[in-house]
A and B are shown apart, each in its own frame.
Chain A
Amino acid sequence: MEVVARRDARGRTVLPVVRASGQLAVRRTGEGAVHLVATAFGPLGGDDAEVRLVVEEGARLSVHSVAAAVVLPARGGSPPSRQLVRAEVAGVLHLTPEPTVVTARAVHVAELHAELGEGGELTATEQVLLGRAGEAPGRWTGTTRVVVSGRPVLHTTVGLGPGTPAWLPPVAPRAYVSTVRIGEPRAAVQTGVDAVRLPLPGGWVGTAWAAELHEAVARLAGVTRERDLEVAR
């Protein structure tokens, strides 16, 4: 799947490339906005999706999805499903898909590789729930790598669910949310109940976890609402 956002002569964002294949479809839903639509139930174990997003200088692109992605295991031994997002951002990218629900026995690997140019802006959110209501948790591994002007500013891999190395009692949450924000002054550290916001050059990364998704979302909001700037320590 590929979307290219470009600023036209009148300063509006146009999308000269909107291409999809496999189990993902893309719908234009506004100026510089697209929604991802799953064409089938899933993703299923073994599915491999690659999303390429290019936001040229002066352009804005918002990427949403129409519904939560429910990751299901394939029959038999389930290989992981993968989703790789590669973003090249000289303009403004908002990547705010609906939650990913990883059902029992499913294994999902999500990767975001974002390369930002000078002045590039990024807001990327991730919301994960392990297992549907009353169901055993699946396994999710998410890697985020953000490079700004050639310098890595964030590179983390978080593993959730049985079999991931650090998902251990007493802190083994079912719900996890994170937001990376680049394009504003370096934020101060904020801590809360099972939530933390950390400064990045030109922004911040916030993370929260809980038993339920709505709790995790509220906890993250609690530490990322204030836009206080970092004081020198």
Chain B
Amino acid sequence: MTAALLTLADSRLPAGGHTHSGGVEQAIAAELLTDPASLALFLRRRLTTSGAVAAGLAAAACRAVDDTDVVAALAALDAEADARTPAPALRAASRQQGRGLVRVGGRAWPHPAWAALPVQPHHPLALGVAAAAGGLAPRDAAAAAAYLSVSGPATAAQRLLAMDPITVAAVTARLGPEVDAVAAAAVDGLPAAADPLLDLLAEVHTVRTDRFFAS
């Protein structure tokens, strides 16, 4: 079943992720992110907060597919996702990516659970359903969510700062053990780790007119 996980985590999966920087564009504007070292810190910060939250929700959504009332279970998780994502800009970014993943995931791995998702679900919920539909386990869903919380932002930094792609790949790869640890810790609960800095960056970013990324 590994191939389905690789597909889910592949940045080439056309689910719209490439237009989101996960706060990187604004962190660069705020001069909080300037070089590989500060990129590594920013990615760790993101991984251990929104990445952990996404991993928990994705694992739970994957599990919810087996629930007797899938619709209610997924709706409850969507509400939990909202409660953990108070910043409207981050909610919009999550739901936009959720919609994109439903579009491609529903075609790639047909499954009745897709229809049980709310309209424009939070991205981790779509990820959990995609994992279940692809025959994966909750732990895999958590792994994909944790990994995606850093891989897309890393690419955004590479593009915006014209960083050496090999350095960026190394930064991302070296976070591997932490990505695994976040996924493993999140799989049986719903972490709520928050970073007010990411909320602030997202809200300042969303009202800019001169941005390359949707978030």
Residues of A within 8 A of B (CB): 143, 145-146, 151-159, 165-166, 168-171, 178, 189, 191, 194-196, 198-200, 205, 207, 209, 233
Residues of B contacting A143 with CB < 8 Å? 192
Bound complex: CA A169 to CA B86 (Å):
24
Find out whether the CB atom of A154 lies under 8 angstroms from the CB atom of B41. no
Q: Known contacts A165-B49, A168-B45: does B88 contact A189 (CB below 8 Å)?
A: yes
Find out whether the CB atom of A207 lies under 8 angstroms from the CB atom of B196. yes
Q: Known contacts A153-B83, A166-B48: does B200 contact A158 (CB below 8 Å)?
A: no
* 21 interchain pairs, CB-CB under 8 A: A145-B83, A145-B192, A152-B82, A152-B83, A153-B82, A153-B83, A154-B83, A155-B192, A156-B194, A159-B193, A165-B45, A166-B197, A169-B41, A171-B32, A171-B197, A191-B203, A196-B200, A198-B199, A199-B88, A207-B199, A233-B88
Find out whether the CB atom of B192 lies under 8 angstroms from the CB atom of A166. no
**Extra A-B contacts (19), CB below 8 Å, given A165-B49, A171-B32:** A145-B192, A152-B79, A152-B80, A152-B82, A154-B86, A155-B192, A156-B192, A157-B191, A157-B194, A159-B193, A170-B32, A170-B41, A171-B197, A189-B203, A191-B200, A191-B204, A196-B87, A198-B203, A207-B199
Residues of A contacting B79 with CB < 8 Å? 151-152
Bound complex: CA A175 to CA B10 (Å):
40
Most B CB contacts (10 A, CB to CB) among A152, A166, A194, A209 go to A166
Question: Is B111 positioned at the interface, with any CB of A under 8 Å from its CB?
Answer: no
Name B's interface SS.
Answer: helix
Bound complex: CA A185 to CA B49 (Å):
29
Residue of A151, A156, A178, A209 near B84 (CB, 8 A) is A156
Bound complex: CA A171 to CA B87 (Å):
19
Bound complex: CA A200 to CA B91 (Å):
12
Residues of B contacting A169 with CB < 8 Å? 41
CB-nearest residue of chain A relative to B205? A191
Find out whether the CB atom of A158 lies under 8 angstroms from the CB atom of B44. no
Find out whether the CB atom of A166 lies under 8 angstroms from the CB atom of B80. no
